[in-house]
Amino acid sequence: MSPNGRRVLPVRNPYTGAVDYEITPPVPAELARTCDRLRAAQREWGSAPLEHRIAVMSRWADELEKAYGPLSAADYADTGGCLISLVSPRIAVGNVRGWAADAPKVLAEAARSGVSSIMPSISFSTQLVPYPLVGVISPWNGPLLLSLLDPVPALFAGSAVIVKPSEVAPRFAEPLMETIRAVPELAEVFTFIDGDGQTGQELIEQVDVVCFTGSVPNGRKVAQACASRLIPAYLELGGKDPAIVTASADLDKAATAVLRGAAFGTGQVCFSVERIYVHEDVHDEFTDILVRKAVHVRLNFPDIDDGEIGPFGFDRQARVADEHLADAVAKGAVVKCGGPSRVLGGGHFMRPTVLTEVNHDMLMMREESFAPFMPVMRYRTEDEAVALANDSHYGLSASVLAGTAEEATRIGERINAGTVSLQDTFLTLFKTRDIGTNSFGDSGLGGDRTGPASILRFLRKKALLTQSAPPAPLARQGRPGGPDAKAGT
């Protein structure tokens, strides 16, 4: 607690283990004032022509490009040297410029006008009205990238936006705010605040829409809080993504894809591969190839700029991973390479870990591990592979690697997941604004987070109905066949 009574939260460096940063959440009254300011400014922002918002956002994209170095460095520190930090600012710029190009067409196509199919004297048109204030609660993995995924279309839609990034990875927010402050019109309607779960709860009480990315348990709490206020909640939650490798697949290519999909970012990606089902005829050969590739993946220790695998971004996640691994081994799993996490220089590291003799009684095959695990399980028939893949309360994404694209598609169409990568893994990033998807099971709630419709989440549709005939009277017009009918009254 600071001398003025404000909370001060220490922030651990995931690479060194040292507490080298701190944040100070706003007190509730301060948060309320910030939200009131954003709401007041949103009225002009939302009523301005779309062309104005496009011009302002395009200037911000210029600022983001100029700030690549500080943004990447801060995100790199937040993630302990994750390679995604090297491209996150550029992906963010592409997202802004892409929506600048796409928003006019998407919003124009969403507008409707015409004549009522029930009453020809009534014509209609639509008005798209932005929600005044969107609240975003973003996660600690991919902090810069994921903190901007929802705000960008919301701003183009005409909403004001307030973002609370994770208290585990908040360093990127200040250099990002510098780019926002460089565009005064944007700074009036877009800001970031520091804070933890308590701050997130307070934020939900102040906004009109919530976008949350995080775990299923926390997502349930957010959904309940939003339901109590009757406001929309868009949730992207956990995953336990399966990958199916058929007997006809190119095993070398399949192993490369699975390794990247499971170990990129230390497996701390919601659409990481976490379960692998391989046809029994090629199980052993595939596993041998996967192990040979996995043992050559390097930790980025002792040089943060050398190696492919960084530390766990959140030390608590290392403990979860170790619990899952210990549970699997106790139930008969065989570790082919890798093993438990290790503390190196203060960071918690884990090498890519391949296991066999796994089954669905193990935590590793049921719950999100968020670790570079590659548990490989045999299957006999295509029906069995699909059943195993669908035997989960998650349904975010999946992968199929087969001998032909046709075979992969046939299997992929049977898997319950919002996104299915065929002949590769980890393709979810490339949906961008092209296609929207829905999560299955407990992996999410709400409308499209990607694709053209993702901007429409932040707009309420209003119908304007015009009557060209005289208004209908309330008085009865007579019963059919009654005396009034003969008189014509």
What residues act catalytically? 270
Residue 401 bridge partners (DSSP): 245
**Across 15-146, where does the E strand assignment appear?**
19-23, 113-115, 122-130, 133-137
φ, ψ for residue 334, nearest 5 deg: -110, 125
The whole-angstrom separation of Cα 305 and Cα 347 is 15
The whole-angstrom separation of Cα 63 and Cα 181 is 10
How many alpha carbons fall within 13 Å on the CB side of residue 487? 7
Q: What token pair was written down for 97?
A: 């410029």
Q: Do 375 and 328 touch, CB atoms closer than 8 A?
A: yes
Which distant-in-sequence residues (6+ apart) come within 8 Å of 488 by Cβ? none
The whole-angstrom separation of Cα 138 and Cα 159 is 18
Helices and strands, counts by H and E, the chain: 16, 22
Tokens 């892409």 found at: 98
Q: What is the DSSP string of 145-170?
A: HHHHTTHHHHHHHT-EEEEE--TTS-
- The CA radius of gyration of the chain, in Å to the nearest whole number, is 26
Q: Do 380 and 281 touch, CB atoms closer than 8 A?
A: no
User: Reduced to 3 states, what is the DSSP secondary structure of residue 337?
Assistant: strand
Q: What is the DSSP string of 428-446?
A: GGGGTTT-----EETTEES
Q: What token pair was written down for 305?
A: 């700029």
Which distant-in-sequence residues (6+ apart) come within 8 Å of 29 by Cβ? none
DSSP H or E segment with residue 4: none
The whole-angstrom separation of Cα 393 and Cα 397 is 12
Q: Helices in 205-339 by DSSP H: which ranges?
A: 216-229, 251-263, 283-294, 315-330
Q: Do 288 and 336 touch, CB atoms closer than 8 A?
A: no
Q: Do 361 and 379 touch, CB atoms closer than 8 A?
A: no
The whole-angstrom separation of Cα 427 and Cα 400 is 12
User: Reduced to 3 states, what is the DSSP secondary structure of residue 198?
Assistant: helix
Tokens 């050398």 found at: 306
Q: Do 189 and 60 touch, CB atoms closer than 8 A?
A: no
